[in-house]
Structure 1
Amino acid sequence: MPQNPSEEINALLGEGTEFEGKLSFGGKVRIDGSFTGQIRGEGTIIVGEKAKVEAEIEAGMVMVRGEIRGIIKARTRIEAYAPARIFGHLHAPVLVFGEGVIFEGTSHMTGDPEKGDRVKTAIPP
């Protein structure tokens, strides 16, 4: 999963950790454990390969390798790479899905097609 190394992770929910509730954040947050609830922030949420998230998510960008169930709203983009599993509703101007991603649900492109905002598919390396 492409990442910007200059952008530090501000918070981490590690593997084997469980959290239920509301998460508000700025910057970059990585979830490798289990999260149930609401996530709201201006920055980036990274859902790691072993993560299980059941939530309503609103963020600047959402990057997924694990499992998400719920509603995901991203201001800039949602990226998903194998072995990601997404079950729910997606809202973003840009959607990027790598080969092997499982997606069941609906997607709504919130961008403007006139400006070139459209669904993009990642090409395997």
Structure 2
Amino acid sequence: MSSDSNSSRNQPGFSGKNITAFLGKETYFKGVIQFEGTMRIDGKVDGEIISNHTLIIGDTAEIEGSVKVRTVVCGGRVTGEIESGDSIHLVKPSKVRAKIQTKSLLVEEGVIFNGQCEMPESQNGDAEKAKK
């Protein structure tokens, strides 16, 4: 394992605590994944991932398709779309080619992100505009 792989494991969200679902490094899944709690993926997924909770994408993970979750911490590869109701944290060595929609995006140095990002205005900002 390279030092890059070890460093991403020390990032927020990569702890083994509170993980309720896990897809291992040698696992391939095609279809729709729905989960409660926190899920960590280290394998390959081709399809759709849906949850109102947290998804951790490990540095060996490869996801192609659509991700719709509350919070994402990504150290792996994602191609497709990521929609987060809360936040997306891209950590080294992630490579993301996706259309992203989120309220908060944090991209660490060393991450490769090619795509589009939409960040909707906060509801408070919309309410202030409506008052005027």
Q: Tell me which interval the TM-score lies in, with the shorter structure as reference length.
A: 0.7 to 0.9
Could you tell me which of 71, 74, 80 is aligned with 2:90? Answer: 80
Which residue pairs with 1:51 in the alignment? Answer: 61
Q: Is the 8 A contact 2:13 2:56 kept in 1?
A: no
Query: Which ranges of 4 or more aligned residues in structure 1 deviate by more than 3 Å?
Result: 4-7
Q: What is the CA–CA distance in structure 2 between the aligned matches of 1:56 and 1:11, rounded to whole Å?
A: 18
Shift of 1:26: 1.2
Larger radius of gyration: 2
Q: Is the 8 A contact 1:49 1:83 kept in 2?
A: yes
Which residue pairs with 1:101 in the alignment? Answer: 111
Q: Which runs of 5+ in 1 are unaligned?
A: 116-125
Q: Compare the two structures and name the one with the higher strand fraction.
A: 1
Which residue pairs with 2:75 in the alignment? Answer: 65
Q: Is the 8 A contact 2:76 2:95 kept in 1?
A: yes
Q: Which amino acid aligns with 1:27?
A: G
- Superposed CA offset, 1:20-53 (max 9, x none): 0000111100000000100100100111001100
Give the alignment's TM-score, normalised by structure 1. 0.86
Aligned length: 115
Q: What is the CA–CA distance in structure 2 between the aligned matches of 1:35 and 1:110, rounded to whole Å?
A: 28
Q: Compare the two structures and name the one with the higher helix fraction.
A: 2
Q: Which runs of 5+ in 2 are unaligned?
A: 1-10, 126-132
Which residue pairs with 1:34 in the alignment? Answer: 44
Shift in CA distance, 4/103, structure 1 to aligned 2, threshold 3 Å: closer
Give the alignment's TM-score, normalised by structure 2. 0.81
Q: What is the CA–CA distance in structure 2 between the aligned matches of 1:6 and 1:12, rounded to whole Å?
A: 10
Query: Superposed, which structure 2 residues align to 1:102-121 within 5 Å?
Result: 102-112=112-122
Q: Is the 8 A contact 1:23 1:38 kept in 2?
A: yes
